[in-house]
Chain A
Amino acid sequence: MAETHSLQDLRQAAVASKVFVQRDYTSGTICKFQTKFPAELESRIDKQQFEETIQTLNNLYAEAEKLGGRSYLEGCLACLTAYTIFLCMETHYEKVLKKIAKYIQEQNEKIYAPLGLLLTDPIERGLRVVEITIFEDRSIGSR
């Protein structure tokens, strides 16, 4: 498959190191990651690009956790059905998580894999960190 060509190459590459972007708790307990640019990535990727990725992720998580008419409706409906509705219906949060997974995959394919980096979906790490794997810089994929 053409689109995984550069990702396939990553398979043979060795992991040089991992960078962890921690959570930002200044707005409370909502899921938000720090947009501070890690020093280890300076030689690899454009700062603005990285910040844009993190900011988009933050916005998506904010959408998932937003308190609004829709989430209240979902909550009330669930309460009235003694929460059995969760057995049949996918929650709004889960739908947004799928969106996030898709976005991360896109970002990896288009931007990060060609640069020898790999973003790990934060849900795989319990929404604690955004893990960025840095691969050794052999000639990887197409630039």
Chain B
Amino acid sequence: MNNREYQQIDPQALATPPPEHMPKRARRRWEVFPGKNRFCCDGRVMVARQGGVLPLTLALILITSGLFFVFDCPFLVEHLTSCIPAIGGVLFVFVIISLLQTSFTDPGILPRATPEEAADIEKQIDNPTGSSSSYRPPPRTKEVVINQQVVKLKYCFTCKIFRPPRTSHCSLCDNCVERFDHHCPWVGNCVGKRNYRFFYTFIVSLSFLTAFIFGCVTTHLALRSQGGNGLVFALQASPFSFTFSTALELVVCFFSVWSILGLSGFHTYLVAANLTTNEDIKGSWSGKSGNEDVGNPYSYNSIVKNCCSVLCGPMPPSLIDRRGFVPSDDSVQTSPVEIELPAAKNNRNMVGRAVTSGRPPPPPPPPVVTLQQPDISIQSHSTA
């Protein structure tokens, strides 16, 4: 049982080929990543295992915007102003880019503990009474005082770490995510520390876009009915495609405006209070338990500062090394040691950029394992 747990980090490396034989192809870390994520473009792009309804979200946005540009823009440019397609275009570009970034960016996944780390933690919290556990021992927690608030850090049995504050384990993705907000099926990814600003940009720009399209379509209809004998006559005189597209746009935008605008408002409140959806739902800091001294220890107590820190703060790097190489366990004399390949550092600098599509990586170094000092990181900077 213990062996199986230790294999979690590198499940396939233990089923090694004969030691004399060099592996034919060095495998990258994303191929042995233990969470439920899917990777594309050789590890540059990642999504949750369940794509959720991301294709539906994209389809709705593309179709509605497409119909708007094709059917409504020409009329409105003629009768009103040519700013309309320009504004619509800018909003559309913002929406699509922020949606793709939300979906494909690492939300702040914490890599699982190495076997040595896990063993070290186990030693520290070992039950002194030495209970022979055929059952799972009681949940392990550590308490930390942050800003005069007592915060409980829970132990994650899957990742074998004590979760940092505000970190939560997403069961859909099977990863611990830092500053976990929620798992959004519409974007097909968790929303966490690294992609919250993209998510916020997405919902705000989407609410503007849907409101804008709704307004334009309504204006279009109003202008058309002015010319003739009313709305019904105007519709009857128009081709079927126009009627159909207008109806579709109105329906989609009407429902979207209310829901997305509401969501944007909610998240604006969360940003201003420096809360996550997870904390808000659980009522961690709202004093529901009757303790009046409870307050959010992470808030700067200033709306402006909270907004700035959440949306404009420094962009943290990705902690999981997707494109590094998995060490092949050739030199096994120090078998419990997880030997870091210099390549891991090389490629991490590429992965560290919080982008959807990375640059072409440096040429992969040979997968020979030695306990080398990772000084190659300095040399690689000049090529980065």
Contact = CB atoms under 8 A, between A and B. Distances in A.
A123 B317 contact: yes
B314 A64 contact: yes
B30 interface: no
Contact of A124 (B308, B312, B340, B370): B340
Nearest to A1: B375
B313 A82 contact: no
A35 interface: no
Interface residues of A, number: 55
A29 B311 contact: no
A105 B354 CA distance: 25
Contacts of A83: 97-98, 101, 197-198, 201
A82 B353 contact: no
A105 B374 contact: yes
A7 B374 CA distance: 11
Contacts of B113: 128
A82 B93 contact: yes
B320 A126 contact: yes
B267 interface: no
Looking at A4, A29, A91, A97, the one whose CB has the most chain B CB atoms below 10 A away is A29
Contact of B117 (A67, A91, A108, A129): A129
Interface of B: 93-94, 97-98, 101, 110-111, 113-114, 116-117, 120, 144-147, 151, 153, 161, 164-166, 178-179, 197-198, 201, 297-298, 305, 308-309, 311-317, 319-321, 333-334, 336-337, 340, 344-345, 348-349, 352-355, 357, 370-375, 377-378, 381, 384
A87 B353 contact: yes
A24 to B, nearest CB: 9
A13 to B, nearest CB: 9
Given A15-B334, A29-B165, A71-B313, A82 B348 contact: no
A120 interface: yes
A7 B373 contact: yes
A76 B312 contact: yes
B164 A25 contact: yes
A125 interface: yes
Interface of A: 4, 7, 10-11, 14-15, 18, 20, 23, 25-29, 64-67, 71-72, 74-76, 78-79, 82-84, 86-87, 90-94, 97-98, 101-102, 105, 108-109, 113, 118, 120-121, 123-129, 131, 133
Looking at A66, A121, A124, the one whose CB has the most chain B CB atoms below 10 A away is A124
Given A29-B179, A91-B353, A97-B352, A67 B308 contact: yes
Contacts of B371: 10-11
A71 B312 contact: yes
B345 A101 contact: yes
B312 A79 contact: yes
A18 to B, nearest CB: 5
B117 A97 contact: no
Given A18-B116, A84-B97, A101-B374, 8 more contacts: A4-B375, A26-B144, A74-B312, A75-B311, A75-B313, A86-B354, A91-B354, A128-B117
A32 B345 CA distance: 21
Nearest to A76: B312
A28 B198 contact: no
Looking at A23, A79, A82, the one whose CB has the most chain B CB atoms below 10 A away is A82
B161 A128 contact: yes
A20 B381 contact: no
